[in-house]
Structure 1
Amino acid sequence: MIKINQVTFKNRIIFIFLCSSLIPFICLGFLSFYTIDSILRNKVESSLQSNLKQDLITLENTLNNLNHVSQQLAYGARVNDFFEELKNEREPYNRIQLRSEIKSEINLISFSNPNVGLIMYYYPEKQEYDFESFRLRGDFLPDELPIMAKYSEITYYGPHKSYNGLINQYVFSTMCKVNLPNQNVYLYIETGRNALETIFAPENKKEDSRRLLILDNDGKITFSENKTAFPENSMFVDYSKSEASSGYYKNYFWNKETSNQGWSIVSITPVEELNKERDKWLFQAALILTFFVVVALLFAMLMWKMVYNPLKKFNKEVKSLTQSTTEQTELTKIPEFDDLLYQVRSMKTKIWDLYAEIEQKEKRRADLEVEKLLYQINPHFLMNTLDTVHWLAVFSGHEKIDKVVLSLNKLLSYNLGKMGESTTVTKEIEAVKEYLQLQQIRYDFQFDVDIEVDETTMELSIPRFLLQPLVENALYHGVSDDGYIHVNVKLYDYLEITIQDNGSGMSREEINSLLLDESKNSQKVGMGIGLSYVKRILEANYGEKANLEIKSEIGKGTIVTLRIPVSGGERSL
């Protein structure tokens, strides 16, 4: 399976365009398909039903006309009188005259009814016929005719080849008994040449895919234009559903109309012909869909080109960030992308300006490194000189000078380390002791120093030069003869360092001045680092977790309390 993040931008654009173009069309297509399919089906089915009703009316009118003619001939007094006279007449001439009168009556009625064809009288006992209006083709076999409806007085026959020797068409026919006493005579009448031309004429079937079935009163097929799927003398499958007027069977759609006499006419149409209009619409829709796909692909490629060309220019600009400072003026002619190009080129100019600035700073840093080395030479030279003085004092027996030089050398060695870097409580206390020892030798008064350090704090890590500025401040502000400085280091949940003196004390203004400014007074002694350095180093290392507190009263001394958070990571191993 392809992951989404592996699909190229080009393919994503094509996919999005296809979806945005095709999904609405497909949804509309499905809706249109079902709508048009319903409309076409209703239209075609309604048309088929309407045509079938028209055929039924035509057939009923034709059969009613046959029935009317048969009533005229079978029950007409004039013709029947001629038949009675002919039966009793023995003279040949008179018989000829009577036969001529009967034929005249038949021709008159046939002429006045153009939809009537062959007319003749049939004698079933003799199986003979007489007074035929046209020459017959072959033998007359009424028992082989397809019965469409049969009643006591008249029988209707379904479509069959005409017995008229002058035409070769399908006709409907009727046979009824003639009202003659003591004679068994039947009247046979067929439809004429053009009576059913609109229904059964072969030339009308060339472009019409529907075919007709004629069912008798019991639903048996008496006539079929599709004898393969619906053979004659078989039962029509859906006849039992008397309420149904249409349906599907064997890939055919059928419509049925029932006459007043009880017989039915059924039209059958192949389903593929029924769906012909729908399939034509589907073909057109497929062509339109293909057109939409091609257009969507073209627009997707056009969009890809619109995005790809600016991306190439952006790529070129990005590569030129570190390769050259040549100013590019080529644009994409798309406002949004051109704006981004301007920003990239502006960023490129700033980057090269930063490069130049960094080069200058690097050059300056190299110069500072040389200066640093030069400055480092002097303190080391001083320490080496002090070490020489220390040994000279030892060899000469000047213990006091030896003590001063040794303390100064240790203090300078400690102070050469970087300010603010980590040290331990032990090393910081030792440096303070060396500093106090030098101050006791320097000043012309005596003061006591008391240092108490909790054993558990000895190896804790603290920043360098936290205690010396505090002790220096205690010495400077009021310690004289009989004075003392008390340093106390304890461990609670935090590390607490207290420096207390019994000097002259300070006012609140002086305390604020010491904390906020490196005043001139704070730089008169020692390293001149000042309490502001202690405050800054606490903020840099501990933020708001550390606390520096000064309490002082004029004439009673000063207490400086420093509280530092302690964690496992701050313990020196």
Structure 2
Amino acid sequence: MTLKKRIIMIFLFSSLIPFISIGLISYYTIYSILTNKIQSGIQSNLKQVELSLEGTISNLNHVSQQLAFEGSVGKKLDQLLSSTDSQPYERVKMKSNLKDELSLITFTNPSIGLTLYYFQNDHSYDLENSGVKNSFSPEQLPLLAQYSGISYYGPHVSNNSFDNQYVLSALRKVELPNRDDVYVYIETGFHLTQSILNNDQTGVKNSHIFLDNDGRIAYSELPDTYAMDTIFPGIENGKSSGSQNGFYWFRQESNQGWSIVSVIPKADYNKEMNRWFVQILLFSLVFLGMSLFLAWLLWKMVYRPLSGFNKEIKLMAQNRIQSGIAKTRIPEFDYLLDQFRQMKVQIWELFAEVEQKEKRRVDLEVEKLLYQINPHFLMNTLDTVHWLAVMNGQIEIDRLVTSLNKLLHYNLGKLGQASTIQEEIEALRQYLILQQIRYDFQFDVQIHVDEEVLKMPIPRFILQPLVENSLYHGLSDDGFIRVEVKLTQTITISIHDNGSGMSEEFIQNLLNNSEVENRKVGMGIGMNYVKRMIDSQYGERAKLEINSVIGKGTSILLSLPLSEVEPNHDKSNGC
């Protein structure tokens, strides 16, 4: 997969995953809020409708109680019905008084509409306060509830000849002593029931269904879906809400046992949620487009610097240096390009330095070979002298030849080949034995080496030229040489003597001019060799210091880094 595709995918994932997560959380949160809001509003509205209807029914009960036998009007009705036809004047007067009292009661109760007394046996009525339709028949009205001798009906169309609105009504037995077929019939006032049902504050289109005490539909605003005189489905287990036939329904049961159900089409119920979902979807599409556009811009910003890097790498592969400095106008990439160019310059400088060091190493090889005159023949000859000295009992000559042979075997090894500090110390000891036999004065040599450095690698032929320098520069009979090898953060080699000392000018000439040194040193490999060797092997990580005071002595300090070379015990040069 290309970097461009990866950038676009990562950018999309990093942008869309948080957005989708927030969107899902918001969706479920808002869905829950809206659902709770709608359901709470519907339940609250249903509760208000139920309380209003209960109040209306309670008022019907209260007014009917005044018109029953227990009330004053009921007693007067009993007197009217008990009077004989022989007293027409008294009957007219009593009837007039009853109408006045009925008018007063209905006037003081504005929520009361049509009121009359109904005689069940002959299906007649009397004392009505308004005109009555010819089709009036309480037995045909939809029964809503029935308890305590009172039957409640509705909602149904009013029996008032001047009103076609839906009303609630009550039919109560008057309980007269002489007749048991007399009932008082009362309806709610004009528009009262309709205003209660239309008092909807939920903001959604809903319809109402009234259920009687048995769950039968007594009134339905959706007769095609929920027909009257049928059992409302879904309330068998006492549920207060549910969904059916493309509608959501919510039920509120009254204290008298009847129920009112609010039915809402699912499309209307989810309208607000769907509107919010469409808005989120449109916003998501806009956000997706912006993410793709930003990913493309990001790719363009990365592509241009990458092209610059590619160009620099090609120039580096072609061993060319960029003439002009191109800028990406992005500080971070400009900084990286500058660093890359500096690195390229440093690489070429390093190549030149390595080439120079390798040339110096070859020169050292050639220089050493110039002084190795047939080493195999020389060591074989010395071995013959050794056995002749043994046969003739020349112990001193035997000791001299043995030490010289060991020293030559070590020193004539391959230049630059690594050795160990232990091997270097042993070669130094053989060299000192030869020097003590060679010269006619005695000098003291002290060698102290830490145990942990004995097996550590070190370039071959490092210590002898340093000690040789102390012997050739003014060491007398009472002189001493102290050699110390310690392990700190580096390998520290120090050589101290109490010779005549050297001037600073002589020290610099000794380190930098091999010809001056070679005239005095028998092996021809001295301080200048050591300096060039450590420069070739370690570079600036090694340090060689010479401190000398005229008439007091000289101190040489050599510091080498750890684990730079591996020891090689190849004895191929032996004979």
Task: In structure 2, give the amino acid aligned to 1:174.
Answer: A
Residues 1:514 and 2:511 aligned together: no
Partner residue, 1:107: 103
| More displaced 10-residue stretch of structure 1: 327-336 or 48-57 | 327-336
SS at match of 1:35: helix
Larger Rg: 1
State how far apart, in whole Å, the 1-side matches of 2:302 and 2:132 are.
Answer: 90
Residues 1:141 and 2:137 aligned together: yes
Correspondence 1:27-42 to 2 at 5 A: 27-42=21-36
State how far apart, in whole Å, the 1-side matches of 2:200 and 2:382 are.
Answer: 133
Partner residue, 1:220: 216
State how far apart, in whole Å, the 2-side matches of 1:241 and 1:58 are.
Answer: 26
Partner residue, 2:191: 194
State how far apart, in whole Å, the 2-side matches of 1:24 and 1:45 are.
Answer: 31
- Alpha carbons 2:49, 2:197 under 8 Å: kept: no
Residues 1:73 and 2:70 aligned together: no
Partner residue, 1:51: 45
Aligned match of 2:414 in 536, 544, 552? 536
Partner residue, 2:251: 256
Partner residue, 1:474: 380
What's the offset of the Cα at 1:174?
Answer: 0.8
SS at match of 2:414: helix
- Alpha carbons 1:118, 1:134 under 8 Å: kept: yes
Partner residue, 2:18: 24
Q: Give a deviation string over 1:281-317, Cα, whole Å, max 9, x none.
A: 3333334433432333233222212211111222233
What's the offset of the Cα at 1:236?
Answer: 2.3
Correspondence 1:226-375 to 2 at 5 A: 226-242=222-238, 244-321=239-316, 322=318, 325-349=321-345
Residue identity (%): 41
State how far apart, in whole Å, the 2-side matches of 1:355 and 1:536 are.
Answer: 25
Residues 1:180 and 2:58 aligned together: no
Aligned match of 1:160 in 142, 156, 160? 156
Describe the shift of the 1:70–1:261 C-alpha distance in structure 2 as closer, same or farther (beyond 3 A).
Answer: same
What's the offset of the Cα at 1:53?
Answer: 1.4
Partner residue, 1:408: none
What's the offset of the Cα at 1:354?
Answer: 9.1
Task: In structure 1, give the amino acid aligned to 2:5.
Answer: N
What's the offset of the Cα at 1:107?
Answer: 1.6
Task: In structure 2, give the amino acid aligned to 1:304.
Answer: W
Unaligned runs of 5+ in 1: 1-6, 365-418, 420-467, 485-502, 518-531, 555-562, 567-573
Correspondence 1:364-513 to 2 at 5 A: 469-475=375-381, 478=384, 506-507=400-401, 509-513=403-407
Aligned residues: 415
State how far apart, in whole Å, the 2-side matches of 1:208 and 1:273 are.
Answer: 6
- Alpha carbons 1:159, 1:171 under 8 Å: kept: yes
Q: Give a deviation string over 1:350-396, Cα, whole Å, max 9, x none.
A: 67789999999xxx9xxxxxxxxxxxxxxxxxxxxxxxxxxxxxxxx
Q: CA RMSD in A?
A: 4.4
Partner residue, 1:384: none
- Alpha carbons 2:204, 2:269 under 8 Å: kept: no
Q: Give a deviation string over 1:134-189, Cα, whole Å, max 9, x none.
A: 22234112222111112362111120111112222111111112233333222211
- Alpha carbons 2:42, 2:202 under 8 Å: kept: no
Partner residue, 1:8: 2
Q: Give a deviation string over 1:382-426, Cα, whole Å, max 9, x none.
A: xxxxxxxxxxxxxxxxxxxxxxxxxxxxxxxxxxxxx9xxxxxxx
Residues 1:123 and 2:119 aligned together: yes
Unaligned runs of 5+ in 2: 360-365, 367-373, 391-396, 435-568
State how far apart, in whole Å, the 2-side matches of 1:480 and 1:23 are.
Answer: 89
- Alpha carbons 1:148, 1:216 under 8 Å: kept: yes
Q: Give a deviation string over 1:530-570, Cα, whole Å, max 9, x none.
A: xx2xx329969xx99xx9x999x99xxxxxxxx9899xxxx
- Alpha carbons 1:478, 1:505 under 8 Å: kept: no
Task: In structure 1, give the amino acid aligned to 2:409.
Answer: L
SS at match of 1:172: strand
- Alpha carbons 1:222, 1:233 under 8 Å: kept: yes
TM-score (norm 1): 0.61
Task: In structure 2, give the amino acid aligned to 1:50.
Answer: S
- Alpha carbons 1:478, 1:504 under 8 Å: kept: no
